[in-house]
Amino acid sequence: MRVLPICIWFTKTQGKERGAAVSSTCAKIDGRWKDVDMLVVQTDEGVFVRNDRLQNDNEKKRSLTAMRAGLRDDPDPVAHLSGVACTAHDQTLQKAALAGLAVHGTKEAVLAIAKRLLDSWGMGAISRCIQLCGRLADQGGLVVLSSTLFYDDRFITEKIDAMKKALTKSGDGLALLALDKLGGEPELHREPRLVNQWREKLSHVANLDIREGIIFGSEWQGTCGWIGQVPAAFSPADMFRARRYVNGRMPGLVDLYQSTLEHMDK
């Protein structure tokens, strides 16, 4: 059994492992990230319970540094960082893993960041996801931001600001102007039906990531607040086209939204 230190240090066990049960924090076991606080391992020699907490702060710092750098020595770093970002119960770990995903900058990494963005817990980690999606605009980050603009009404302004920064960097003045003309978020809280006016304005911009993302995102209801519950105002043809675009631009994002919202409904 191979275990790498994150917040807890485990030594190797002797004998063939039959099973393990884990909970809380995070460690790497047999090449997979798992939440751990206490690890119960059954071997040929019997059952062992280990709960050896890491006392060395320098070791923790090295582990966080390795994640922020992208776990370059790991055989499957994106999968492992995604596991930490989405399942660890410590936002320090999550943010380190998110930074590592941004280092890789692949579409798979952006998809992992999107998965964490769809979790309504941990505002600091969600804000970090928004920032990183803005930086990873070329890899599909704008599609994630535009399609989730009204998904969680706590972060509307943050997502718009992140999109503006990305558009300023790319020199897309027309799309930037469209975002500037939307108005202020407080208007939406006073009259949530105005959300469709925002959607309508953004559905006419030339930037495909924003245009198709905002239409596609209108298909989904949000996780909290009532802004995201406003029914979409687009035709079935528009919705079909947007879904097809998003599926091609960010493979896996449509399925991710579908599975996330189905899980929320249960």
Q: What is the pLDDT of residues 171-226, one digit of tens each?
A: 999 999 999 999 888 888 788 778 888 999 999 999 999 999 999 998 876 555 55
pLDDT of residue 48: 42
**What value does the mean pLDDT of the chain take?**
81
Query: Look-up: residue for tokens 């579908």?
Result: 258
* Residue 143 falls inside a structural domain: no
* Residue 56 falls inside a structural domain: no
Domain with 200, as residue range(s), is 171-245
* Residue 33 falls inside a structural domain: yes
pLDDT of residue 60: 79
- Alpha-carbon distances of 119 from 23, 104, 151, rounded to whole Å: 19, 22, 11
Could you tell me the pTM of the whole model?
Answer: 0.77
Query: For the segment 56-107, what is each residue's pLDDT rounded down to a tens digit?
Result: 577 778 889 999 999 989 999 999 999 999 999 999 999 999 999 999 999 9
* Residue 147 falls inside a structural domain: no
Residue 37 reports pLDDT greater than 90: no
Burial of 179-203, coded b for 16+ CB within 10 Å and e otherwise, reads beebeeeeebeeebebbbebbeebb
